[in-house]
Amino acid sequence: MYETSHFQQYRNLHREWARPDFINLNPIQRGGILSEEARKALLEFGDGYSTCDWCPPKEARLDAIEKPPISSFYQDLAKFLGMDVARVVTRCREAKFIIFMTMTRPGDIIVVDSLAHYSTFLAAELAQLEVVEVPNSGPPEFRITPEDYRAVIERIIKEKGRPPALALLTHVDSHYGNLTDAKKVAEVCHEFNVPLILNAAYTAGIMPVDGKTIGADFIVSSGHKSWAASAPTGILAMKEEFAEKVLVRSKRYPNKELALLGCTVMGAPLLSLMASFPHVTERVKKWDEEIEKARYLVSVLEQIEGTRQLGIRPKQHTLIHVQSDGFWKVSQQHPRRGYFLYDELKQRRIVGIQPGLSKHFKLNTYGLSWENIKYVGDAFLEIAKKYQLL
């Protein structure tokens, strides 16, 4: 038996980083900060099946619900992304897995960039696919080019006698925040009749992404990473020509889309995504200013001894990978070791950089005001001056 008193620890949960006086630089959290409308929807639709009040009995499917307007949202979501069909799933990785499972057979080869998120490789492994990686240029830029895709696809055709079943490009990678030319990659893939999946987990929802202009056959994204939605939310969008195969109906339950196992995300995650949609469609128009802020902060950080930005220069995304030999040198003599930087920043109400890191760390400036950006820059300089790195 157990003592019920043990479970009292789960009452009154709180999150220190949510304090309004803290500046959060976490690289995977900036694009997922909820809009005010989403916070209201979170409470209104927090109950598990709150979206199912008006589920039409004939269709009995999430994407057919009109109150709340889920059906029209799916259509608007596809249009916003420049695609024909869209669905909301639990995560970006699930969207990738669904495409892998429905568009390939076990043993097929797919081409994936070498900076792809680990979940891309897990999804491919679960789908029993062979992954061939497109190499990057290595340090300091780690650049991936359309010609790299061409070389890999041509090699596969030469060795196997046929092109890969699919190609996937990570639009912006989670390691260095590099933005790759997706349109040119799509052109290369289409030369060989290879459908392209664009992993827009770090781009769609925070910057303009138009699948039609790019030439993407599929777009996958993360609602809780880049669409100001609560977790778990993922986005799966595609051209009409692939919808019949990917969204094939069950033989036993013909109203249900088989790969989605019927209904997917419901309740608060879906409704927070929907409630933030107007906010998201407006904020992507300010992308140029977001890049200016990121570049400004990089220029400040690089005043510190031994500090430089890794990845393509100048920055084309707000996710920044910093290498700081200076801070690492300090950590070797500091009683808190690498945690000293986290401590110093937190004392200045700045959080989000992973505790324990000092030589390599990532941060994201997306959505911060100029006032906050300058405060963060001044804080880093203040810390550097304290440890004689200026």
Q: Using omega within 30 degrees of 0 as the cis cutoff, is the peptide bond preceding 232 cis?
A: yes
Three-state DSSP at 198 gives strand
pLDDT at 1: 61
The whole-chain average pLDDT of the chain stands at 95
The tokens for 358 are: 């000092």
Torsion of CA 152, 153, 159, 165, to 10 degrees: 130
Does residue 292 share a domain with residue 215? no
At 174, the amino acid letter reads: S
Over residues 225-231, mean pLDDT: 96
pLDDT band of 53, cuts 50, 70, 90: confident
pLDDT tens, residue by residue, 107-124: 999 999 999 999 999 999
| Single pTM value for the model | 0.95
Name the 3-class secondary structure at 282: helix
Question: Residue 362, class by beta-carbon neighbours within 10 Å (0-12 exposed, 13-18 middle, 19+ buried)?
Answer: buried
Q: What is the pLDDT of residues 326-375, one digit of tens each?
A: 999 999 999 999 999 999 999 999 999 999 999 999 999 999 999 999 99
| CATH, residue 205 | 3.40.640.10
The strand pairing partners of 222, in sequence order, are 234
HEC sequence for 139-184: CCCCCCCHHHHHHHHHHHHHHHCCCCCEEEEECECCCCCCECCHHH
Residues 134 and 53 in one domain: yes
Residue 2 has pLDDT above 80, yes or no: no
Given the DSSP bridges, would you call strands 196-199 and 218-222 parallel, antiparallel or unpaired?
parallel
Q: Which of 263, 283, 303 is the last residue of a domain?
A: 283
pLDDT at 323 over 70: yes
**What average pLDDT does this structure show over 186-200?**
98
Please write the tens of the pLDDT for every residue from 262-316.
989 989 999 999 999 999 999 999 999 999 999 999 999 999 999 999 999 999 9
How far is residue 171's CA from residue 26's CA, in Å, rounded to a whole number?
Answer: 19
Question: By percentage, how much of the chain surpasses pLDDT 70?
Answer: 99
Smallest CA-to-CA distance from 317 within 175, 203, 169, 184 is with 203
- Judge whether residue 168 has pLDDT over 80: yes
Q: Which residue segment(s) compose the domain that 368 sits in? A: 4-30+286-386
Residue 204 predicted with pLDDT over 70: yes
Find the DSSP H helices in 247-331. 268-283, 287-301, 325-331
**How, if at all, do strands 166-170 and 218-222 pair?**
unpaired
For residues 159-179, average pLDDT: 98
Number of domains within the chain: 2
Which residues are within 8 A (CB) of 155 and not within 5 positions of it... i.e. 6 or more apart?
A: none
Question: Under a CB-based contact definition with an 8 Å cutoff, are residues 189 and 181 in contact?
Answer: no
Task: Choose one of 218, 250, 283: the last residue of a domain.
Answer: 283
CB 229 within 8 A of CB 82: no
Q: Indicate whether 322 and 341 sit together in one domain.
A: yes
Domain boundary among 283, 304, 331: 283
- Are 200 and 277 members of one domain? yes
